[in-house]
Amino acid sequence: MKSPTLRLGALPPIQVSPGTLVTVAVFALMLYPSFSDGSGTFSAAAALPALGIALFLVLSVLIHEVGHAVSARAFGATVDHIALTLWGGHTQYTGRPMSAPASIVISLSGPVSNLALAALATAAGTLTEAGSTADVFWYLCSRLNLALALFNLLPGLPMDGGRALESLLGGVLRNPLLGTRVTAWIGRGIAVLVVLIPLRWILQSEGAGTFLLLALLWAMLIAGMLWQGASRALGAATLQSRIDALDARSLARPLRLVGPQQMLSDLGPASELDALLVLDQRIARPGVVGHVLRIQPAAAAAVPDGERSRTPVSAVAAPVGEMGALQASLRGDDLVSAILARPFPLYLVLEDSGRALGVILSDEINGLLRGR
């Protein structure tokens, strides 16, 4: 189901997931006891402020994400959208790679927005009567924003504090992938603690009331999200390390290329056929070296010796596909980008002088990226 999209002035599109309603309902249930008289009967007077705080929490998440969006735009990024979800929210943006200071500012702008909201809610509370419903309302709004800021400042991925620490470590250590791995493992540790804390509360209280059960359930959901986010970061770091190791020059296989009209008798012994590719350049087009065929050893072996000098290799070859070209100097992300821009089953690796070094098979690249 597609999330509804809101447009508010100059802000990026805001996608509101149905899970946001679940967040509102859960927090309203958790906050309801703070306003009820304890009689056990439903009270609209208690439900309304509880619902109001839950809605204020969603607004706080939105302002948190707006903080990210505004700072990302300030550093030249293009913000695609803001999403409000069951787990809170996120901001999707694209742009050139950010410097470590820029990444840190973008990461911390969200929690700073919540600290500002906490201060405003505290100031609003000073204008109300002590102990009144309005006083409790602003007190809880302030504490929720403070908790949201502090939680997001925790130094583990995928939290904002983890992203800031990731950028800082990557810059200091001059190894961004090591920074990602360290902060992702910290994030996994935080995910475990998120579940252990409400469990400890339950054990200490020698029982689990409605509030503690809801807190445990919510903690397990949040912990699952944190663990998955940290795991995705680790996976991305592993993939990036494999990409960084790619080098067109070293990956080029020195295969011999022959024309489709060359005779079988010119190819040498059958044991060398696997090192041959048939390249038909008569159908070459811009960006394409030609059409490639691979000799079928069984078909080649079935040709009588007396016929081999009159049998072209194309008669015993099966089509592979078109062949592209890659510069031997391509490495890492540049090599992957070139392959994705013009995907072919295989590529001819060329020096700047035009001399062919060999062939790269797309299947081999995919295997390396998958760790095979």
pLDDT digits (tens, 9 = 90+) for 119-128: 999 999 999 9
pLDDT value of residue 97 = 85
Q: Hey, what are 97's tokens?
A: 């790679």
pLDDT value of residue 65 = 97
Q: Quick one: pLDDT band at residue 223, thresholds 50, 70, 90?
A: very high
Task: Give strand ranges (E) for 65-157.
Answer: 78-85, 88-94
Q: Which one is predicted more confidently, 26 or 362?
A: 362
pLDDT value of residue 365 = 95
Instruction: Tell me if 30 sits within 8 A of 214, measured CB to CB.
Output: yes
pLDDT value of residue 276 = 85
Q: CA 240 to CA 169: how far, in whole Å?
A: 17
pLDDT value of residue 269 = 76
Query: What mean pLDDT comes out for the span 281-286?
Result: 75
Number of Cβ within a 10 Å radius of residue 186: 20
pLDDT value of residue 212 = 77
pLDDT digits (tens, 9 = 90+) for 155-210: 999 999 999 999 999 999 999 999 999 999 999 999 999 999 988 888 887 666 66
Neighbouring C-alpha atoms within 13 Å toward the C-beta of 37: 6
Q: Quick one: pLDDT band at residue 24, thresholds 50, 70, 90?
A: very high
Q: CA 350 to CA 358: how far, in whole Å?
A: 8
pLDDT value of residue 33 = 84
Q: Answer whether residue 34 shows pLDDT above 60.
A: yes
Q: CA 97 to CA 263: how far, in whole Å?
A: 53
Q: Hey, what are 29's tokens?
A: 């249930």
pLDDT value of residue 372 = 78
pLDDT digits (tens, 9 = 90+) for 265-279: 888 776 677 778 899
Q: Which one is predicted more confidently, 122 or 43?
A: 122
Average pLDDT score, the chain? 91
pLDDT value of residue 248 = 97
Q: Which domains does the chain have, with CATH numbers?
A: 5-244 (no CATH), 248-369 (3.10.580)
Q: Answer whether residue 250 shows pLDDT above 60.
A: yes
Give the N- to C-terminal CA distance of the chain in Å, as an integer: 36
- Report how far Cα 89 is from the mean position of its chain's Cα atoms: 15
